[in-house]
Structure 1
Amino acid sequence: MDLMEAGSSSNVDTNSSDNSTSKKMLNRTETMLVAFKESQLIGRENEKSDILKLIANEDSRRCEVICLWGMGGVGKTTIIRDVYQSQELIGNFEKRACVTIMRPFNPQELLKNLAEQLECKDVEDLVKQLEVKKYLIVLDDLLATTEWDAIIPYLSPTETSSRIIVTTRIKDIAKHCSKNSEYEKIYELKSLGQNSARDLFIEKVFDRTTNLNEQYPELVEQANLILKKCKGLPLAIVTIGGFLANQPKTVVEWRKLNEYISVELEMNPELGTIRTILMRSYDGLPYHLKSCFLYMPIFPEDYRIGRGRLARRWSAEGYSRAVHGRSAEEIGASYFMELIRRSMILPSQQSIHSAKGFNSCQVHDLMREIGMSKSMEENLVFTLEQCCSVNTQGIARHLAINGNWEGDKTEFESIVDMSRVRSVTVFGEWKSFFISDKMSLLRVLDLEDTTGLSDHHLKHIGRLLHLTYISLKGCENIFDLPDSVGDLRKLETLDIRDTHIFMLPNTIIKLRKLQYLRVGRNSYDEDVSYEEELLKAIPEKMRNRLCLLPQCLLFSYLLSKYRDDLKIHDRCTMMCCSILPAFAMCLDLYGVLVPRRMRKLKALRTLGVVNIGRRGKDVLLDIKGLDQLRKLGVTGVNKGNGKELCSAIVGLSHLESLSIRSEGKPGLCECLDGKFSFPETLQSLKLYGNLVKLPGWIQGLKNLVKLKLRSSRITEHDAAIQVLGNLPNLAFLHLLEKSIKGEEVYLSFQQGTFRNLVVLEQSMGLYRRLKSVKFEQGAAPKLEVLKFGLGTYIDSSVLGLPSLSSLKEVVKEGGISETALAFLRTELAEHPNRPVVKTV
C-alpha cells in the first residue's frame, strides 16, 4: 500500500510491542478498505499483464527480484495484490507470502510474519525452506535501501525459480533491490490515462455503467474539473468518487467540492486518506529535499517548470551549494532528479533533445495542495492572485504574483511585507511597484514571459544589491540593460533570452560572480535570420531594391501591424535600439554583442549566444580566457574568424556543450575545417549553417553524446553517416531541416554502427521526402526512439524496423497518413517490445 508512516527511518525497534504493531496493521487495513473498496482493476489490464509476464518468465532458473515503483496513491498495492491473487500464479509456486512493511521498521517482526505465512516454525526454519522451495514473496512499501539490506540475507537467492516482488515510491530503491538479479526487472506504474480515469470515477460515483453525457450532462463540466485535479491518481479518483457517491448528484455539490478541495482534503475525514498518504510521501523526504519541494507552490497550477530554472533558483536561494567540485547548479539539478525519482514531482516530458533526461516537471494538483499548505504554515510562499483579500498580510519569503492582479500600489504595500521578501516571481502582467528599494534582501527576480515590462522599469535595478538571479527571458519589450546592472556584484544568473537586447553594457564585466549568462533570440525557422522573418511578407523584387532607411521604415510599419501590443514609444525604442543598429552593423539578432575584457568573468560556466561577427578576434581572445566554461554558444561565424574560434575552443578544457551558428550562405562552409583536438569533455554539439561536409575533427569526439545538425546541406551523406556511426558514445542524433542536401534522401545505417544510439530524429523539412531509410541487422542495437519531423514524408521505404531490437517508440511530428500508419503498425506488429506509434 502507498500509505507510509512519517519519516523513512530504517532503525530496528525491538521494543515495539505486538499490540502496537497489530494496531498499526489494523489502521492500515482500514485505510486500504476505505481507499480501494473493489478488488477488480479498472484501466490496469495492460500493466497487470506486463507484471505477470515478468514474474512468469522462465528464462532465468534462479531467484529474481521484480520491483514496482511509482508515486504514492498510484495504486501499487492494488495491482500487486490483484497479481498476487491471480489464478495464473497460484499453481506456479509452492509457497506464497505477502507482507506490508510497517513503521518503525522491524526486520525481525517482518521475518516472523513471513515465517507464519509460509508455515515455518521460526526464522531459522524459514531460511532452510527458502533454499529448497519455489516461493513468491511480496514486500509492499519499502522506504529505504537499508531496509532491503537488512532483509535480503534471509531471503538470499536460491537455485529455484523463486520471485520476490518489491513495491516502493522511489526509483533508486527499485534499482538497488534488483541490482543482483540476472535481468534488471523494474516496472514504473504511472497514472491512469484519461479514459481509464473517467471509467474508474464513474464506477465509484454511480456503482454502475453510466453515460455521464447523456444521463447527467449538467455534471460533465464539474466531473472534468475533478478528474483534472486527480491527474489520473487512482487513490484520489477512488476516494473522491466514493465521497460523491453518498452526496446529491447536483452541480452545486460538485462545484462546492471543486472550489474547496484543499479545505476538504484537510478537514473532511472521508477524503483524509488522500492527504494522509501524500503527506507521508512528504514526511519521508530528507530535509534538503523538503525545502526544495516547498519551493514548488511558487509556480501556478499545471505550470511546466524547467529543470535548469529550478536548479539555478535553488542555488541563488542557498538551497544547494557547491561541493566536491560540483557547482551549486549541478547539485540543484541532482535534487530535481531525486524529487522525480521519489515521485514528488512528475516529469512533464522526457525530452528527446536532452542527454540529461527530464528537462521539465509539473506538480500533481493534489501534491501541490500539500505543498501549499505546508509552505503557508512555514511562511515560505505567498501568492498574490486576483482573488487575494486585502486583509491578508503576506509575510512569506517568496512572493508569487499570478495572473493579471488588478490591485494598486497602496493595496500592494498593505498586503506585502517587503522587508521579508527574498524572491519575486511574476506570471502575467507587470506593474512598476512589484519591485521596490524596500526589498533590501531580494535575491531572485524572475520575470520570465512577463508582459508590460519595459526598459525604464529596470533603470534602478542596481540598488537591489543582494540580487543573485535575474531572468527577463521572453520579455519582448526589453531592448536595453541599464548600466546599473554592473552594481549587482553578487549576481550569478542573468537570463535575457528572447528579448530585443543585442548589445550588453560595458559594466557587465564587473559581475565577477556571474556563472550563467544567456542572451540572444530563438527563431521560428532556424534556417532564416530574424530580419528575413520580418521581410517574408515583402515581395522579393521590392525587397532587394530597398535601401537601409526605407527598410527600417518598412519594419516600423510591420511592427505596428503585427505587434499592436507595443506602444509607439516602445516601437521607436525597438527601431532605434535594436533593428536599426543591427542593420547598420549587418548583424543577425540571434546573438548578442559583448564588450571587451569579458575574460574578467572567470566564474562563467554558461555563455551564449555571443555574436562574434564584429570584433571577432577580440571576443574570441576573451572567450579563450574563460577556462571554467561548460556551455558555449556563438553565431556570426565566417571564414575570417572560424579558425580562431576552433583554436579558442581547443583550450576550453571543461567544455561540455557547444553551439555554432552562421546565417545564410556561405554559412559555415570551410569555416571549421582544419586539424583540431576539441576538449575530451565535449558531450553536446549543435552546428547550424551551411557545412556541405562534416569537419574532420568530429570523428575525434569520442565522448560526444548528442549531435544536432540543421541547414548543414551535407552532400556526401553516406560518408557522413559512417563517420557519425563510429562515434562510440553518440546517444542522441538529430538530423534536422536541410541537414542533408537533396529533394529525395537515401540513408543507410550499416551493421555495427551507432552502437549506443538511443534517439534518432530525422526531419528533412516541409515536403521533402526520405526516399529510403534502411537499418541493417545489428545497426543501432540500443535505439529506443525513432522520430520523423514535421512535414517529412515517410512510407514503406523505411526498412529494417524489426531489426531494431530495443525500439520502443516511433514518433511522427505533425500527424501521419493512414497509409504510413498502417505500414508502421504492420512492421512493428511482431516486434517483441511492442513499440508504439505516436504523433505529436
Structure 2
Amino acid sequence: MSCFLYLSIFPEDDKISRKRLVRRWCAEGYSRELWDKSAEEIANNYFFELIDRSMILPTQNSTYSSRGADSCQIHDIMREIAILKSKEENLVLRLEGGRRLHNHDTVRHLSITNSRVDRETDVGELEISVDMSRIRSLTVFGELRPFFISDKMKLLRVLDLEDTEGVRNHHIKQTGELLHLRYLSLRGCEYIAYLPDSLGNLRQLETLDVRGTHIDRLPKTIINLRKLNYLRASVDENTYEGIAEELPELIRNRLCISTVALLGLCLFCSASVIVKFDTGINTRDICSLFCCGILPSIAMRLQGNGVVAPRGLRRLTALHTLGVVDISWQPSILQDIKRLIQLRKLEITGVNKKNSKKFLSALAALSRLESLSLISKGKPGLWGCLDAEEMFSTTKDLKSLKLHGNLVELPKWIGRLNNLVKLKLSKSRLKDHDAAIQVLGKLRNLTILCLPRKSFHSLEGGELNFSEGSFKSLVVLELDFSRSKCVKFQQGAFHNLELLELSGYIEEVETKFSGLEFLPRIKEVQLHGYFYDVYEQAARRLKEDLLAQHSENPKKPILKTSGCF
C-alpha cells in the first residue's frame, strides 16, 4: 500500500520512470533484499504487480523496454484515492503554488509543484506548518527556491531535483550535511558544474544521478560512498558532436591546453564582487558554470560525453551501474573498473586503439555484466578496437549493447550474442549493410533494434532488404531511411514486430517502402520526416504510400507522423 500511496508525490498526468520510482522505493526502505533477490528486483516486482492490478497504467512507449514497461501513469481516479489516503495518514504533503498550508507536523514526504511563489510568504508557511525534522523525501517539480532545502532536514533520505529549474552550484553545497541521504538526483540541472567535496560524507548514499549537467569530473571524496550502487553522470551526447567531428586532432589538443589556462579566471571570482541579475543568476553562477563546467566540457566533449572518475573507484564494490566514464584522459581508471565485479551495467566513452587492450582486459573481469554502452566520437572511432576474438567470451551474456562511433565493419562476435535483447548501432557507418542485416537477423532473442542516422556508411540509391525468416523475435525496430532507394519487408520477416519507427531526411532520393502489409503483428508505425519545401510533394507521396500499405494489413496499424509533416 505504501508503494501505491507514494505515487501521489508526482504531478497529474506525469509519466513516472520505472527506474526512478524503483530506486526511490529502495531508498525509502519499501523494498529490502531477501534471500537471492536484491531490493531492486523486489521493487521491480512491486511495480509490475501494480500494473497487473490496474492501479497504474504502462505508457504507450513501454514497448521500448525489454521488461515491458519503462514508465507509467496513474489514472485520475486512482490518483485521487492515493492523494486522499496519503493525506489521511500524513504521508505526503503536496505544496502547489498559491495554495495555503495547514498543519502537517508528522508528514514524511514533501512534494513541491509549480513553485514560482513568493519567498517570504512560503518560507514562513513552511516553517510554521511542517516539522522539517520529520521529512524523509523532498521532490521539486518546477523552480527551486533556496529555502526548500532546510538544514533541519537531518533525516532526509531522498532529494529529487530531476529537471528542476534554477538549481545552482551553491544550492547543493549543504547536501553533504544530509547524512541519511540515500537517493540524490540532479539530473537535468544544466547549471550544475561540480559536486561539493562534502558529498563524501553521505556514507548511506545508494543512488547518484547527475546526467544532463555540466559536471565533467567527479570529486575525489566519492570513493567514500561504499554503499553506492547506482552512479550516472553525463552531458547530452549531441552537444559538442559537430565540433568533435570537424576539428583536426591538433587543434583539439591545443584547445584542451587553452581551456586549462582559462580556468585561471576563477581566481578573479570572489564573494565581494558578486552581482545578482534580474533573472536570479549572479556572477558567481556564471563564473562557476563557464570556468568549472562549459570550458572544460568543450575540451572533453571532443573525446566523448563522459566524466573523469577519481583513482580509487575500485572501493565502490557495491556498484552495479556505472556511466558514463571517460577513459581517454585517464586510462588507468580501467584498473579500478576491473575490480568492480558486481557491475551489471557499464557505459564507457573514449575507447580508442591506444587503450583498447586495457579496456578488453578490464571487461573480461566483469562476469556479471548485462548491459554495455561504448562511445567513441570522431575518427577512427571504434574502428579496430573491438575486433579481438576474446570480445565474445566477455560479452556472450550481454542483454543490451549500444555502440556509438565508427565501426566500418560489424564485429563478428556480435552474431553469436544469442542472449542479446537490445542492440543500438549509432554513427557506425557500416559499409556492407546487407551483410550486417543478415547477421543481425539471426539473433534469436533480439527484441529491440535501433539503427538511427549514419548507422550505415551510405545508402544513397541502395536498398535495405529484410529477408524471409529474419528477426523472428524483434518487437521494436528504429530505422533511418535517409537516401535509401527502397526498404523491403519480405513476407515471413519480423513475425513479432509491433512498433516500427521510421525517420529520415526526404531529399532527391525518394524512398519506397514495400511489404508493410506482411507484418502480422504490427500495431503502430511512426514516421519522423524532415524535408525542405521543394520536397513537399515527395513527402506527401511517401505518407500516402504508407497509408495505402496500412490499409492492406489485416491488423490496421496506426500511422503517426511528426517532424515536418
Q: Distance in 2 between matches of 1:833 and 1:312?
A: 38
Q: Distance in 1 between matches of 2:236 and 2:194?
A: 18
1:770 maps onto 2:484 in alignment? yes
**Contact 1:638 / 1:662 at 8 angstroms: preserved in 2?**
yes
Once the two structures are TM-superposed, the CA of residue 604 in structure 1 deviates from its matched residue by: 0.4
Q: Which runs of 5+ in 2 are unaligned?
A: 266-278, 531-537
**Contact 1:705 / 1:729 at 8 angstroms: preserved in 2?**
yes
Structure-2 change in CA distance of 1:584 and 1:800 (3 Å): closer
Once the two structures are TM-superposed, the CA of residue 343 in structure 1 deviates from its matched residue by: 1.5
Partner of 2:306: 591
Partner of 1:827: 549
Query: Could you report, residue by residue, the CA deviation over 1:246-293 in whole angstroms, capped at 9, with x for unpaired residues?
Result: xxxxxxxxxxxxxxxxxxxxxxxxxxxxxxxxxxxxxxxxxxxx1111
Correspondence 1:268-307 to 2 at 5 A: 290-307=1-18
**Contact 2:512 / 2:542 at 8 angstroms: preserved in 1?**
no
Partner of 1:690: 406
Structure-2 change in CA distance of 1:381 and 1:651 (3 Å): same
Q: Distance in 1 between matches of 2:150 and 2:430?
A: 54
Q: Distance in 1 between matches of 2:529 and 2:37?
A: 40
Structure-2 change in CA distance of 1:381 and 1:531 (3 Å): farther
**Contact 1:514 / 1:603 at 8 angstroms: preserved in 2?**
yes
| DSSP-derived class of the 2:372 partner | strand
**Contact 1:530 / 1:588 at 8 angstroms: preserved in 2?**
no
Which residue of the other structure, out of 303, 322, 337, is the alignment partner of 1:607?
Answer: 322
**Contact 1:637 / 1:671 at 8 angstroms: preserved in 2?**
yes
Which residue of the other structure, out of 363, 372, 379, is the alignment partner of 2:90?
Answer: 379
Query: Could you report, residue by residue, the CA deviation over 1:576-597 in whole angstroms, capped at 9, with x for unpaired residues?
Result: 2123334566754610000112
1:798 maps onto 2:513 in alignment? yes
| DSSP-derived class of the 2:294 partner | helix
Partner of 1:75: none
Correspondence 1:597-636 to 2 at 5 A: 597-616=312-331, 618-636=332-350
**Contact 1:795 / 1:823 at 8 angstroms: preserved in 2?**
no
**Contact 1:523 / 1:530 at 8 angstroms: preserved in 2?**
no
Q: Distance in 2 between matches of 1:326 and 1:390?
A: 41
1:463 maps onto 2:177 in alignment? yes
Q: Distance in 1 between matches of 2:255 and 2:224?
A: 41
Which residue of the other structure, out of 19, 33, 58, is the alignment partner of 1:347?
Answer: 58
Once the two structures are TM-superposed, the CA of residue 523 in structure 1 deviates from its matched residue by: 3.4
Partner of 1:728: 444
Once the two structures are TM-superposed, the CA of residue 681 in structure 1 deviates from its matched residue by: 2.8
Query: Could you report, residue by residue, the CA deviation over 1:652-683 in whole angstroms, capped at 9, with x for unpaired residues?
Result: 12111111001111111111111022344311
| DSSP-derived class of the 1:315 partner | helix
**Contact 2:114 / 2:142 at 8 angstroms: preserved in 1?**
yes
Paired AA for residue 330 in structure 1: E
Q: Distance in 2 between matches of 1:638 and 1:626?
A: 22
Query: Could you report, residue by residue, the CA deviation over 1:397-423 in whole angstroms, capped at 9, with x for unpaired residues?
Result: 001111123243333211221121100
Q: Distance in 2 between matches of 1:647 and 1:458?
A: 38
1:570 maps onto 2:249 in alignment? no
Q: Distance in 2 between matches of 1:660 and 1:376?
A: 46
Q: Distance in 2 between matches of 1:426 and 1:551?
A: 35
Once the two structures are TM-superposed, the CA of residue 394 in structure 1 deviates from its matched residue by: 5.0
Paired AA for residue 472 in structure 1: L
Q: Quick check: which one's helix share is greater?
A: 1
Q: Distance in 2 between matches of 1:585 and 1:608?
A: 15
Q: Which runs of 5+ in 1 are unaligned?
A: 1-289, 537-541, 557-563
Partner of 1:519: 233
Paired AA for residue 590 in structure 1: N
Which residue of the other structure, out of 415, 419, 431, is the alignment partner of 1:703?
Answer: 419
Which residue of the other structure, out of 31, 36, 55, is the alignment partner of 1:320?
Answer: 31
Partner of 1:360: 71
1:331 maps onto 2:46 in alignment? no
Paired AA for residue 826 in structure 1: A
Paired AA for residue 299 in structure 1: F
| DSSP-derived class of the 2:164 partner | coil
Which residue of the other structure, out of 118, 136, 147, is the alignment partner of 1:406?
Answer: 118
| DSSP-derived class of the 1:481 partner | coil
Paired AA for residue 525 in structure 2: V
Structure-2 change in CA distance of 1:724 and 1:566 (3 Å): farther
TM normalised by structure 1 equals 0.60
Structure-2 change in CA distance of 1:508 and 1:742 (3 Å): same
Q: Distance in 2 between matches of 1:755 and 1:432?
A: 54
Paired AA for residue 38 in structure 2: S
Once the two structures are TM-superposed, the CA of residue 565 in structure 1 deviates from its matched residue by: 7.4
1:757 maps onto 2:474 in alignment? yes
Partner of 1:818: 540
Partner of 1:146: none
| DSSP-derived class of the 1:389 partner | coil
Paired AA for residue 415 in structure 2: Q
Correspondence 1:652-663 to 2 at 5 A: 652-663=366-377
| DSSP-derived class of the 1:643 partner | helix
**Contact 2:483 / 2:511 at 8 angstroms: preserved in 1?**
no
Once the two structures are TM-superposed, the CA of residue 805 in structure 1 deviates from its matched residue by: 2.3
Q: Distance in 2 between matches of 1:614 and 1:757?
A: 38
Structure-2 change in CA distance of 1:792 and 1:485 (3 Å): farther
Paired AA for residue 752 in structure 1: G
Which moves more between the two structures, 579-588 or 693-702? 579-588
Correspondence 1:136-155 to 2 at 5 A: none
Once the two structures are TM-superposed, the CA of residue 820 in structure 1 deviates from its matched residue by: 2.0
Which residue of the other structure, out of 465, 470, 493, is the alignment partner of 2:207?
Answer: 493
**Contact 1:455 / 1:478 at 8 angstroms: preserved in 2?**
yes
1:529 maps onto 2:231 in alignment? no
Partner of 2:269: none
Partner of 2:356: 642
Structure-2 change in CA distance of 1:362 and 1:419 (3 Å): same
Which residue of the other structure, out of 146, 151, 155, is the alignment partner of 1:432?
Answer: 146
**Contact 1:552 / 1:580 at 8 angstroms: preserved in 2?**
no
TM normalised by structure 2 equals 0.87
Partner of 1:448: 162
Q: Distance in 2 between matches of 1:500 and 1:837?
A: 38
Q: Distance in 2 between matches of 1:583 and 1:810?
A: 38
Correspondence 1:138-217 to 2 at 5 A: none
Once the two structures are TM-superposed, the CA of residue 338 in structure 1 deviates from its matched residue by: 1.7
Paired AA for residue 194 in structure 2: D
**Contact 1:685 / 1:707 at 8 angstroms: preserved in 2?**
yes
Query: Could you report, residue by residue, the CA deviation over 1:426-454 in whole angstroms, capped at 9, with x for unpaired residues?
Result: 11222222222321211101111122222
| DSSP-derived class of the 2:522 partner | coil
Once the two structures are TM-superposed, the CA of residue 373 in structure 1 deviates from its matched residue by: 0.5
**Contact 2:209 / 2:231 at 8 angstroms: preserved in 1?**
yes
Q: Distance in 1 between matches of 2:542 and 2:100?
A: 56
Identity within the alignment, % = 53
Structure-2 change in CA distance of 1:378 and 1:669 (3 Å): same
Q: Distance in 2 between matches of 1:755 and 1:567?
A: 57
Q: Distance in 2 between matches of 1:824 and 1:731?
A: 24
**Contact 1:498 / 1:521 at 8 angstroms: preserved in 2?**
yes
**Contact 1:705 / 1:730 at 8 angstroms: preserved in 2?**
yes
Partner of 1:669: 383
| DSSP-derived class of the 2:337 partner | helix
Q: Distance in 2 between matches of 1:686 and 1:487?
A: 34
Structure-2 change in CA distance of 1:790 and 1:400 (3 Å): farther
Partner of 1:257: none
Instruction: Give 1 or 2 for the bigger CA radius of gyration.
Output: 1
| DSSP-derived class of the 1:316 partner | helix
Paired AA for residue 397 in structure 1: R
Which moves more between the two structures, 797-806 or 701-710? 797-806
Which moves more between the two structures, 604-613 or 823-832? 823-832
Aligned alpha-carbon RMSD (Å) = 2.8
Structure-2 change in CA distance of 1:589 and 1:500 (3 Å): farther
